[in-house]
Amino acid sequence: MSRLLVVVDMQKDFVDGALGTKEAQAIVPAVEEKIKAYQAAGETVVFTLDTHGPDYLATQEGRRLPVPHCIKGTPGWELADAFKELAGTRFEKGTFGSRELAEYVRDGGFSQAEVVGLCTDICVISNALLIKAFCPELPVSVDASCCAGVSPESHENALKAMEMCQIDVVRKE
């Protein structure tokens, strides 16, 4: 049994594109280091890709967040440069969480899962909770230093919510 690292939506549009933030840019080196450590140890790394079509603005999400982003085939949909060439299965998802990812984790025989990426308060929490729902006995953790939210306040709120749902939040002093 091996460990799994789930890298959520480390795409150009969330790092330095349409919805990018300085907090997202700041976690790139730590996420890259973590991915490389998992890979060097022979552990599994997977990536999620927020994936929308050209009709994004006509969707419920697009009406609530009218900022076109992660449109499949555009530069903003691609993983940020630091991650583009790194190996790992990719899960395209049209919504915040990926049922396919949760099923993959459930069926993968992993000893633990760690979730990192963007945005803590939307897609990271959604995927961490789905994994926990599909795998209630699997230890699931989130490294707070390798995540960023829409705002620092919503990042912290999401971390607290995950802790309440028995997801271990690693906080580096």
Whether 160 shows a pLDDT value over 80: the answer reads yes
> Residue 62's pLDDT is what?
97
Domains in the chain, please, with CATH? 3-50+77-170 (3.40.50.850)
pLDDT at position 1: 76
Tell me the mean pLDDT in the region 24-49.
Answer: 98
Of 25, 22, 79, the residue nearest 50 (C-alpha): 79
**Interval 60-72 mean pLDDT:** 97
Classify residue 54 as exposed, middle or buried by CB count within 10 Å of its CB (0-12, 13-18, 19+).
exposed
Q: CA 83 to CA 35: how far, in whole Å?
A: 9
Judge whether residue 173 has pLDDT over 80: no
Listed residue (38, 73, 28) closest to 54, CA to CA? 73
What is the rounded average pLDDT of the residues 54-81?
97
This prediction's pTM: 0.97
Q: What is the DSSP code (8-state) at residue 120? A: I
- How high does pLDDT run on average in the chain? 97
For residues 63-70, average pLDDT: 97
Q: What is the pLDDT of residue 172?
A: 83
Q: What percent of the chain has a predicted confidence (pLDDT) above 90?
A: 98
- 83-135 confidence digits (pLDDT tens): 999 999 999 999 999 999 999 999 999 999 999 999 999 999 999 999 999 99
Q: Which two tokens stand for residue 123?
A: 């897609």
What does the alpha-carbon distance between residue 44 and residue 110 come to, in Å, rounded to a whole number? 9
Contact 29, 137 (CB under 8 A): no
Backbone angles phi, psi at 8, to 5 degrees: -95, 120
Query: Residue 170 — pLDDT band, cuts 50, 70, 90?
Result: very high
